[in-house]
């Protein structure tokens, strides 16, 4: 028997919440619903979910605050944020708070389903041996402990940032295309015009490169990204 995925919907519009819940239940999901940030925070702490569908505008705690608090103790459960806004600044703020994907209102139910399915299977196809350490120049990655340091200085990464860095590190200096990153890190959920990958590359550069003398994350314009000092 296949596992039934438990989805949490956090949306203060009760009609939209009901419509989403009914649609996802028909698609075979187990669904819980919350209508404000405080209620959602208690529910997220007390229960386990495979995916969280989270609105930005909520009473008491908004979606940004809620996501940030949730990521303090859970870095794995994917969050799909629903928003009436499409500005880049809102997306960047959401990503910084731990959001995995965005969907702008109004949307089709089929699109919500597609995004959720992509998030549920988004685990990157990275095979890690126990106690494996990757070393690129002065960058050290402890794959088992998910710890990163450069020049002996610890670097704090989110789970998504770590997976992205691992994908680049394990390519052994070869170029990794955006299509590969979309497939292996985002489960293929990003369309061609989505700038999420560029945003996350910039996040990594601020942490991996900016504080140090030599940049390691390189862009091959029109092709993709690679890790290392050598130029392609």
CATH topology of domain 6-120: Rossmann fold (3.40.50)
pLDDT along the chain (232 residues), means of 10: 77 94 92 94 90 93 93 88 78 88 89 91 53 83 86 88 91 90 84 86 94 92 85 67
Question: What are the extents of the domains in the chain?
Answer: 6-120, 133-227
Best CA proximity match to 162, nearest among 187, 126, 129:
126
Alpha-carbon dihedral sign for residues 41, 73, 50, 48: negative
Same fold across 6-120 and 133-227: no
Beta bridge partners of 176: 225
Q: Identify the CATH assignment for 133-227 out of 1.20.120.530, 1.10.10.10, 3.20.20.210, 3.30.70.270.
A: 1.10.10.10
Looking at residue 24, its pLDDT comes to: 94
d(CA 79, CA 54): 7
- Is pTM beyond 0.95 here? no
Q: What is the pLDDT of residue 3?
A: 59
Cα distance between residue 67 and residue 28, in whole Å: 25
What pLDDT shows up at residue 131? 53
């Amino acid at each position: 028997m296949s596992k039934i995925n438990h989805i949490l919907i956090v949306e203060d519009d009760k009609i939209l919440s009901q419509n989403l819940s009914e649609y996802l239940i028909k698609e075979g999901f187990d669904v819980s619903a919350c209508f404000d940030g405080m209620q959602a925070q208690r529910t997220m702490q007390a229960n386990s979910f495979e995916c969280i569908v989270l609105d930005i505008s909520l009473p008491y705690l908004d979606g940004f605050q809620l996501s940030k608090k949730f990521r303090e103790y859970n870095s794995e459960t994917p969050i799909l944020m629903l928003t009436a806004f499409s500005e880049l600044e809102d997306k960047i703020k959401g990503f910084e708070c731990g959001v995995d994907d965005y969907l702008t209102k109004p949307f089709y139910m089929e699109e919500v389903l597609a995004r959720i399915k992509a998030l549920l299977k988004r685990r990157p196809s990275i095979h890690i041996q126990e106690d494996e350490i990757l070393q690129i120049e002065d960058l050290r990655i402890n794959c088992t402990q998910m710890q990163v340091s450069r020049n002996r200085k610890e670097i704090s990464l989110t789970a998504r940032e770590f997976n992205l860095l691992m994908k680049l590190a394990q390519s052994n200096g070869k170029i990794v295309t955006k299509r590969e990153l979309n497939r292996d890190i985002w489960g293929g959920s990003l369309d061609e015009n989505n700038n999420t990958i560029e945003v996350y590359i910039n996040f990594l550069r601020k942490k991996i490169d900016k504080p140090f003398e030599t940049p390691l994350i390189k862009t091959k314009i029109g092709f993709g990204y690679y890790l290392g000092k050598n130029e392609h």
